[in-house]
Amino acid sequence: MIGMVLMNFREERAEKRKQDILKTAIKIFKEKGYNDTTIEEIANEMRYTKGSIYYYIPTKEYLLFECHEIAMNMILEKTRPIINSELSPLEKLQELVRKHIDVLIDEMSLLTMALQHEFDLEPEHRQQIIEMRNEYEDLYAQVLEEGVAAGIFKDINLSLTKLAILGALNWIPHWYSKSGPFDKRQIADFFSEYQIAPLLKDSQINNASLSPKGEKKR
Amino acid sequence: MIGMVLMNFREERAEKRKQDILKTAIKIFKEKGYNDTTIEEIANEMRYTKGSIYYYIPTKEYLLFECHEIAMNMILEKTRPIINSELSPLEKLQELVRKHIDVLIDEMSLLTMALQHEFDLEPEHRQQIIEMRNEYEDLYAQVLEEGVAAGIFKDINLSLTKLAILGALNWIPHWYSKSGPFDKRQIADFFSEYQIAPLLKDSQINNASLSPKGEKKR
Amino acid sequence: MIGMVLMNFREERAEKRKQDILKTAIKIFKEKGYNDTTIEEIANEMRYTKGSIYYYIPTKEYLLFECHEIAMNMILEKTRPIINSELSPLEKLQELVRKHIDVLIDEMSLLTMALQHEFDLEPEHRQQIIEMRNEYEDLYAQVLEEGVAAGIFKDINLSLTKLAILGALNWIPHWYSKSGPFDKRQIADFFSEYQIAPLLKDSQINNASLSPKGEKKR
Amino acid sequence: MIGMVLMNFREERAEKRKQDILKTAIKIFKEKGYNDTTIEEIANEMRYTKGSIYYYIPTKEYLLFECHEIAMNMILEKTRPIINSELSPLEKLQELVRKHIDVLIDEMSLLTMALQHEFDLEPEHRQQIIEMRNEYEDLYAQVLEEGVAAGIFKDINLSLTKLAILGALNWIPHWYSKSGPFDKRQIADFFSEYQIAPLLKDSQINNASLSPKGEKKR
DNA sequence: AATGAATGAGGGTTCATTCAT
DNA sequence: TATGAATGAACCCTCATTCAT
C-alpha cells in the first residue's frame, strides 16, 4: 500500500488484476479448500485463461501464501494501535480480545482456510507467516507484562496465559456459525471477560457479560 | 472389538491386517500429512503392494476417517467414566480437562493430523465425526450444569463456557512441543485452574498452579 | 543380462515391456529428436496410455539415458574382446577402428540421436555416460601404448593421436548416408588405413585401401 | 554489411538492435543451450521485454539460424583467401587446417552450440546451412585436387580424405578444454601434420609436431 | 518503437483406483 | 489372499507468439 503512489497507472492496473486474482482464489479456496481448487477454476471464474493467471502470479502456492499474509495483516493492523494507546493494561487486553474476535468472525472463512492449509505452504513462506504470528503474540505478551508490572494482573505464568487466551479465541471458527445462537458481540463480551478473569485480583471481577441471558433471540 | 467373538479366524486375520494398515497409515499421515501420503507409501512401508491395500480398505479417505474415529474414541473412553464417578462437579471438570490434555499430548501427532484434515473427510464421514465430538462436548455440558445446580459454579453462559474451555485445550497442539518449556503436568495444572477459574465463586479460587515458577528446568 | 536367469517369468515379462517401451522411444527419438517426442506419442505408438508408460519408467529423461547406455554398451561389447586377443597392436587398432565404424553405421540413428542429446541428460546420468566413454577411449590408449612399446608405432603424442582417430570416426554420422557413394566396408577400409598411417614407420605403409577407385557403383 | 550504405539511419538502428539481440542470444544459448533458453531470458538480459524482441526477429528459431550463419561465415571468411594465395597445395591445406582450428577454438562455444542444435533448425534453414558447409568443404576438395594434380599428394580417395580431415577437426570441441593439457598452438601443429601425413609421399614426411614432448606445462 | 497483456497448446508427471489372475 | 498391470483424469506450469495501443 505504501509505495503505491509511486506506481504509474499501468502498474496500478496490473496490481489490481493481481488483487482480483487473489480475491477469486480466496473465494474458491474458501469453498473447496486449497488442494481441491485448480488454477483453471480460478481462471474460468474470472473469464481468464490458465496462462493469463500465470502472467500475474508465479505459483499456486504463492496465492495461498498471500492469503496468509492478508489474514495476518488484517489482524495486526487492527491490534497494533491498541498497544500504544492510552488505555490501561486491562482495557488493552480486552480490546485485543475484542478486535481478535471481530476480525476472526468477519473474515472467518479466510482465516479458517488459511489455518487449515498452513502446512501446504513452502517452508520459506511458512516461516514468514510464523514470524508474523510471533509478532502478534508478542502484543499479548507485552500487555500482560504491563498489567503485572502495574499490579493489575496477578503474577501468574504469562506464557501459558497468553496461549490459553489465544487458544480459546482461535478455536471459535470451529464452532461459530452465522446462524448459530451467538452473535459476534455476545461472543466478544463473553470471551473478553471469561478468558481474562483468572488474571484479575478479586476486587476487579465483574461478571456482567458472562450472564447466561445473553443468548441471541432466534 | 465387541463382535469379534463372532468372527472366524479368517475374518480375524483380515481384521488384524486392516488394523496394521491403519497403524501404518497413521504413522505416515502424521509425518507427511494426509494429502502428501500415497497409498503406495503405505504399502511399501508394510512390504505390501498397492493392490493388496485395496483388498482391505475401500478408499484412502476411509483410512483418514478411521483415524478420526480412533482419536475420538481414545478421548471418549478416557473421559466417559469421569461423569459417572463419585467426584464433585468441580473435581469432574478438572479431571475432564486433565484427561483431555493427557490424551492430547500423548497422541498429539494423531490428533493434530486428524484436526488438520477434518475437511478432507467425505461429508458423510465428517458428519459422523462431528456427532462424536458433540457427544464429547455434552460431557462438559452435563458437568457444568451439575455444578451450577449444586451451587458450586456461577450461573453463567454454559454453552460459551464449554466452548471457551475446550477451545483453549484444543489449541494446545498448535504450540506444544516436547522440547518446549512446559511439560504435560504443568500444562494440565495450569489449564485445569485457569480455564475453570472464571466459573468459581470467590471463596474457591486457588492460584497455586498458575504460578510463573512452574517452568520446566531445561 | 547377467542375472536375468534369476528372474521369474513375471519379472521377465516386465523387463520385456520395458525394453519394448525403450525400443519405441528410440524409434521416435530418432525420427523427431528427444525434445520433440512426447511420452504420449510413445504410448500411442504402443497402444498404451501415458500412465502405463510411467508404470515402467520413472521419467522421460531416463529413456534417453538408457539410449546412451545401450549405445555405449554396444560399442564396448564389440571392442573389449579385441584388447585381449592375440592380434598385434597394429591389427588391434585396425580392428578397433573397423568395429567402431561397424557399430556406428549399423546403429547410426541411435548413436547420432544420443550424441545430439547428451546435454539433455541429468548431470548424474551424463557423468555415467562420460565414464563409459572414458573406458572406451582407454582401450585406444592401451593399444597405442602397446604399439609404441613394441616399436611398431612412432613415438608421437598418443593423447592427441587417440583424439584424432576417434574424432574422424565419430564425425561419420554427419556425412554418411545409406544412399551415398560409400558403403560401410569401404569406409572401414579407408579409415583403418588413413587414420592410422601417420603412426606407422615408413616400411609399414600400404596404401591399398586409400585408392580412389573404391567408390561404390551407383 | 554490404548494402548497409543504402540504409537510412532508422534502418541502421534497427539493424544494430537486431545484432544486439543476436549477440545476447548467442551468449545465453552458449550457456544453457538453445532449448533451455527462453525469449524472456534474452529480453531480460537486454532490459527489453519479450514483446520488443519480436519487433526485430520473427521467431526464436531464426536466432538459431543466424547463429549458424555467423559461425559458417566466420570460418569461410578466414579460409577463402587461402585458396587464392600463392601457397603450395600442401601449405594451403596446412593453413586451412590451422585456421579451422583457430576459429574452432576461439569461437568454440558458438560453434559447439550451433553444431549441437543443427537439428533444431527448420528444414529450410538447415538446408541453407548445409549449403554453406558444402561450400566450405569444397575448398578442401579444391586444394586436395590441386595437390594431386601437382604430384604432391598421393592419388587416394579425396572425398573420404576430406571427410577424415574435417571430421577429426570438427570433433575437437568435444574434448577441448581451456584448462586441459593442450593449447591451441599445439593442437594446430599436431593436426596439421597428423591429418595430412597419409596424403604425403614418403620423402615429405616430417614428424616434428607429432612429438609427445609437446604437452603444455600445467 | 516498444510493450503490457493475453493466450493456448501442450508436456511431464502423479496417483487413487480397478481388475484379471 | 495378494498382486502386477493398467488406466485416466487431472494438475501445475511453460513459453513462443500475437496484438492493441
Report d(CA B47, CA B34) in Å as an integer. Answer: 20
Q: Final residue of a domain: which of D40, D57, D74?
A: D57
Chains A and D touch (3+ CB pairs under 8 A): no
Query: Is the CB atom of residue B185 positioned under 7 angstroms from any atom of strand F?
Result: no
Co-location of B24 and B79 in the same domain: no
Q: Are residues C14 and C85 in the same domain?
A: no
Interface test with D, best of C121, C153, C156 (most D CBs within 10 A): C156
**B74 lies in the same domain as B39:** no
Which C residues 33-72 have CB within 7 Å of strand F?
48-52, 54-56
Q: Which residue of D has its CA nearest to C115?
A: D116
Number of domains in chain C: 2
Interatomic CA distance for residues D63 and D22, integer angstroms: 6
Length of chain D: 218
* Of D157, D197, D198, Cβ closest to residue C212: D157
Q: Give phi and psi for B123, each to the nearest 5.
A: -50, -45
User: CA nearest B159 in A: which residue?
Assistant: A212
Q: Is residue D24 part of a domain?
A: yes
Predicted pLDDT at A214:
46
Residues of chain D with Cβ-Cβ distance to C188 below 8 Å are: none
Instruction: Measure the CA–CA gap between D104 and D112, rounded to whole angstroms.
Output: 9
Query: Residue D1: is its pLDDT beyond 60?
Result: no
Are A67 and A11 found together in one domain?
Answer: no
Judgement on whether residues B207 and B108 belong to the same structural domain of the protein: yes
Average pLDDT of span D188-214: 80
Q: Do residue A175 and residue B195 have CB atoms under 8 angstroms apart? A: no
Residues A109 and A28 in one domain: no
* Tens-digit pLDDT profile for residues B182-194: 999 999 999 999 9
pLDDT at C208: 65
CA separation for the pair C29, C128 (Å, rounded): 21
Per-residue cell: A64: 495461498
Q: What average pLDDT does range B106-120 have in this prediction?
A: 89
Contacts of B185 (CB under 8 A, 6+ apart): none
Residue B50 has pLDDT above 80, yes or no: yes
Q: What is the pLDDT of residue D3?
A: 47
Residue-wise pLDDT for B143-160, tens only, equals: 999 999 999 999 999 999
| In contact, D67 and D110? CB cutoff 8 Å | yes
The whole-number Å distance from A3's CA to F20's C1' is 29
Which range marks the domain in which residue D35 is found? Answer: 7-57
Indicate whether A118 and A209 sit together in one domain: yes
Under the phi-then-psi rule, with left for phi > 0, alpha for psi from -120 to 50, and beta for the rest, what region is A151? left
Query: For E19, which residue's CA is nearest its C1'?
Result: B51
Task: Spell out the residues 6+ positions from residue B29 whose beta carbon is closer than 8 angstroms to its own.
Answer: B37, B63, B64, B67, B113, B117
CA of D53 to C1' of E3 (A): 10
Residue C32 grid cell? 523427431
Tell me, yes or no, whether C128 and C36 share the same domain: no
Residues in chain A within 8 Å Cβ distance of B172: 163, 167
Please say which residue of C57, C80, C100 terminates a domain: C57
Chains D and B touch, using 3 or more CB pairs below 8 Å: no
Chain segment D73-82, per-residue pLDDT in tens: 999 999 999 9
Q: What pLDDT shows up at residue A14?
A: 87
Residues C97 and C155 occupy one common structural domain? yes
Nearest CA in chain C to D204: C202
In this structure, is the CB of residue B15 within 7 Å of any atom belonging to strand E?
no
Tens of pLDDT along chain C (218 residues) come to 444 455 677 788 888 999 999 999 999 999 999 999 999 999 999 999 999 999 999 999 999 999 999 999 999 999 999 999 999 999 999 999 999 999 999 999 999 899 889 989 999 999 999 999 999 999 999 999 999 999 999 999 999 999 999 999 999 998 999 999 999 999 999 999 999 999 998 666 666 667 665 455 44
Q: pLDDT band for D218, please (50, 70, 90 cuts).
A: very low
Total length of chain B: 218
Closest CA of chain B from A164, distance in Å: 5
Q: Residue-wise pLDDT tens for chain A (218 aa)?
A: 444 455 677 778 888 999 999 999 999 999 999 999 999 999 999 999 999 999 999 999 999 999 999 999 999 999 999 999 999 999 999 999 999 999 999 999 999 899 889 989 999 999 999 999 999 999 999 999 999 999 999 999 999 999 999 999 999 998 999 999 999 999 999 999 999 999 998 666 666 667 665 455 44
Measured in degrees and rounded to the nearest 5, phi and psi for residue A88 equal: -75, 160
Spatial CA neighbour of C196 closest among C90, C62, C43:
C90
Position D2 scores a pLDDT of 46
The answer on C35 and C102 residing in a single domain is no
- The Å distance, CA of C43 to C1' of E19, is 21
Give dist(CA D29, CA D23) in Å, integer.
10
Backbone angles phi, psi at A200, to 5 degrees: -90, 150
Q: Which of C115, C130, C125, C104 is nearest to C34 (CA)?
A: C115
CATH number (domain holding residue D162): 1.10.357.10
A-chain residue closest to B207, CA distance: A156
Indicate if B117 and B152 belong to the same structural domain: yes
pLDDT of residue D58 exceeding 60:
yes
Contact D171 C172 (CB under 8 A): no
Q: Which residues from the 47-106 window of protein chain A have CB within 7 angstroms of nucleic acid chain E?
A: 48-52, 54-56
CB pairs under 8 A between C and D: 123
Asked if D53 and D43 touch (Cβ cutoff 8 Å), the reply is yes
Residues C1 and C65 placed together within one structural domain of the fold: no
Classify residue D96: in a domain, yes or no: yes
Helix axes of D158-170 and C184-194: crossing angle, nearest 10 degrees: 70
CATH code of residue D24:
1.10.10.60
Q: Mean pLDDT across the stretch D164-168?
A: 97
pLDDT band at B2; cut points 50, 70, 90? very low
Mean pLDDT of D83-112: 94
User: How close A46 gets to chain B, by Cα (Å)?
Assistant: 26
Q: How far is CA D73 from CA C82, C115, D67, D69, D132, in A?
A: 43, 25, 10, 6, 8
| Cell digits of residue A201 | 485480583
Q: Is the pair C, B in contact (3+ CB pairs within 8 Å)?
A: no
DSSP strand E in B24-161: where? none
